[in-house]
């Protein structure tokens, strides 16, 4: 019944069922751990200081008897994190790792987990949150590469037309269109190179501004 109540999120009921069970089997260590986890889940759900203290005391008491119980350490870490008290837990584990030889390895392991948790909390992922960002990206690409994006289709069309006319017109027309195609291709290439050169100059300009600022100060 305790397991069913826990799975349904009725943690107070699960705790009551476990208390009844302990009257029959007071030495069941695994069920005591289950009771500590239920108290931890209750604290996360109720969000009160009394429930926090109750869950922390239950986990700390069992960890004293079984310091290798890693799930208990992780539950305690999450409990302090959810209540914004991760700095307090760090001090607790630092003292334990330094003062108690037999608890040093696990203490250092949890301290590393605390460090990673702090890094995750303080680092905000950079994500794209609006369609306007996507539109801006496409506009930027079109602005940078419009000569080659529009020039190549025109060049291919001219090549096709030249090939068609070369079969239906005289030699002079074929030469004329070949020359036009060459000039058009050269113009597209020059526009592309000019545009790429203009883009490449922008970062240098920004660097110059950055370098000038300290001199002005």
> Is there a single domain that holds both residue 111 and residue 148?
no
Looking at the structure, do residues 10 and 101 belong to the same domain, yes or no? yes
Mean pLDDT for the stretch of residues 50-58: 96
Residue 1, CA distances (Å) to 26, 44, 204, 211 in order: 17, 21, 70, 71
Under the banding of pLDDT at 50, 70 and 90, the label for residue 215 is very low
Query: Same domain for 89 and 138?
Result: no
| Cβ atoms 38, 9 nearer than 8 A | no
- Least trusted range by pLDDT, from 59-63, 68-72, 90-94, 158-162: 158-162
Looking at residue 158, what is its pLDDT? Answer: 67
How does residue 122 score in pLDDT terms, banded at 50, 70 and 90?
A: confident
Whether residue 64 is predicted with pLDDT greater than 80 in this model: the reply is yes
**159 and 108 inside one domain:** no
Whether residue 208 is predicted with pLDDT greater than 60 in this model: the reply is no
Mean pLDDT of 77-84: 95
117 with 50, same domain? Answer: yes
- Are residues 70 and 47 part of one domain? yes
Query: Residue 47, SS3?
Result: coil
Neighbours of 34 (CB within 10 A): 18
Q: Are residues 200 and 175 in the same domain?
A: yes
How confident is residue 214, by pLDDT bands cut at 50, 70 and 90?
A: very low
For residue 151, tell me if it sits in a domain: yes
Question: pLDDT averaged over the chain?
Answer: 78
Please tell me the predicted confidence (pLDDT) of residue 207.
45
How far apart CA 69 and CA 53 sit, in angstroms, is 20
Look up residue 67 and give its DSSP letter.
T
Task: Verify that 172 and 118 share a domain, yes or no.
Answer: no
In a domain, 214, yes or no: no
Examine the fold and report which residue of 122, 155, 181 is the final residue of a domain before the chain moves on.
Answer: 122
Q: Report whether pLDDT(124) > 80.
A: no
Boundaries of domain holding 184: 131-208
Please state the domain count of the chain: 2
17 lies in the same domain as 108: yes
Is the same domain home to 137 and 111?
A: no
Task: Note whether residue 108 is domain-resident.
Answer: yes
Domain membership flag for residue 169: yes
| Same domain? 114 vs 146 | no
Residues 138, 181, single domain; the answer is yes
């Amino acid at each position: 019944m305790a397991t069913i109540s826990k799975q349904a999120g009725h943690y107070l009921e699960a705790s009551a069922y476990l208390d009844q069970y302990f009257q029959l089997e007071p030495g069941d260590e695994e069920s005591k751990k289950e009771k500590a986890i239920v108290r931890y889940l209750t604290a996360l759900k109720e969000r009160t200081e009394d429930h926090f203290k109750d869950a922390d005391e239950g986990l700390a008491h069992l960890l004293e008897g079984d310091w290798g119980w890693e799930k208990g350490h992780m539950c305690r870490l999450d409990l302090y994190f959810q209540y914004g008290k991760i700095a307090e837990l760090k001090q607790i584990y630092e003292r334990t790792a330094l003062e108690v030889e037999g608890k040093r390895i696990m203490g250092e392991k949890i301290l590393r987990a605390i460090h990673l948790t702090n890094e995750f909390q303080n680092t905000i992922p950079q994500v794209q949150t609006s369609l306007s960002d996507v539109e801006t990206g496409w506009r930027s690409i079109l602005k940078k590469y419009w000569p080659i994006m529009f020039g190549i289709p025109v060049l291919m069309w001219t090549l096709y037309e030249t090939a068609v006319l070369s079969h239906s017109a005289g030699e002079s027309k074929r030469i004329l269109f070949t020359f036009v195609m060459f000039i058009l291709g050269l113009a597209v290439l020059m526009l592309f190179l000019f545009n790429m050169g203009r883009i490449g100059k922008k970062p240098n300009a920004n660097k110059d501004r950055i370098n000038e600022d300290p001199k002005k100060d």
